[in-house]
Amino acid sequence: MKKNIFKTVIISLIIFMSISISFVYGQSKALILQEMSWVDVQEYLKNNDMVIIPLGSTEQHGPHMPLGTDCYEAFGMSKLISKQTGVIVAPVLWSGYSVYHSGFPGTLSLKPETMEQVLFETAEMLMKYGFRRFMFFNYHGGNNIVQQKVIHRINHTTEAVAFAIGHGSAIQKSGEGEFFDWHAGKGETSIMLYLKPELVKKEQIENPQITFTPKVEQLYNLAKQDQLLLNVAGLYLGVPVETKKGGASHELSSNGIWSFSDVKSASKEIGKKTVDRMVNAAVKFIEAWKQVKK
């Protein structure tokens, strides 16, 4: 009788410990590399070789949002993904390629080759410990070329593999965004109202005056017959002032917001819808990839 009771107690303890581990490393708590000890990482690597690296920027986001908006978005969504998948998030940089926003004070920018090298060397260190599956969650368009290059470099020069899971990636379907609501507008303000509402100064929201060059205006008009020309128009936007294309942020927008939408109509509910869509897509992908054992 005592033996059976002892056996029952042991089984109960094992179940309790399993639930506790699941609670910490699975559905409830995001795993952030910088918040973990080396022992935590060692234990994690016994069963998982995945890591998520968020990519953002420090750049102007209009008069109502913080310079770190893109980082807060990428990191915030990565943490939500971690909570559901138990995959470690390793934030590396708080700056990206943003030189075309430097007409507004506070913007920081790295050269693409500098950013690529930092990310690659970081990946190399993580590989040293046993990480083999890298996922980059980018939420800044200026980083796209860097992300592509570092992913290619990892995939073609190391034993590890890398894949993009953030904005514009193969796993993310484009939302129902409004026409030319590109930066710090209704959509992005809504995301921040959901993720970091305390950093949004709603009283300072004001719709911008957008100034396109005659060439860009012509391209947009012609795109009504051939939508592919929208891609050409985009080549003249978000480029350094030195290119003389008239597409640097301060040339394009009166206050740094790139949007024709009513930014004042941004809401937490709209932001939640966007965040949930992106997070769910990433979680679905990761859970499918987990079926391939480390």
- Give buried/exposed letters for 146-164 (b at 16+ CB in 10 A, else e): bbebbbebbeeeeebebbb
Rounded distance between C-alpha atoms, residue 40 and residue 21, angstroms: 12
Q: In a 3-state reduction of DSSP, which class is residue 169?
A: coil
Residue that has been written with the tokens 């929201």 in this structure? 205
Whether the model clears a pTM of 0.85, i.e. scores above it, the answer is: yes
C-alpha count within 13 angstroms, C-beta hemisphere, residue 118: 16
64 touches 204 (CB < 8 A): yes
Number of Cβ within 10 Å of residue 41's Cβ equals: 17
Residue 139 CA to residue 168 CA, distance in Å, equals 9
Strand 133-138 vs strand 88-89: parallel, antiparallel, or unpaired? unpaired
Query: Which positions ≥6 away from 44 have C-beta within 8 Å?
Result: 25, 31, 36, 88
CA distance 32 to 51: 10
Sequence ranges of the domains in the chain: 30-174+274-289
**DSSP secondary structure letter of residue 253:** B
Amino acid, single-letter form, for residue 100: Y
User: For each of the chain's 294 residues, which pLDDT tens digit applies?
Assistant: 545 554 444 444 433 444 344 444 445 799 999 999 999 999 999 999 999 999 999 999 999 999 999 999 999 999 999 999 999 999 999 999 999 999 999 999 999 999 999 999 999 999 999 999 999 999 999 999 999 999 999 999 999 999 999 999 999 987 667 889 999 999 999 999 999 999 999 999 999 999 999 999 999 999 999 999 999 999 999 999 999 999 999 999 999 999 999 999 999 999 999 999 999 999 999 999 999 987
CATH class as words, domain 30-174+274-289:
alpha beta
Task: Give the 3-state secondary structure of residue 150.
Answer: helix
Amino acid occupying residue 55: L
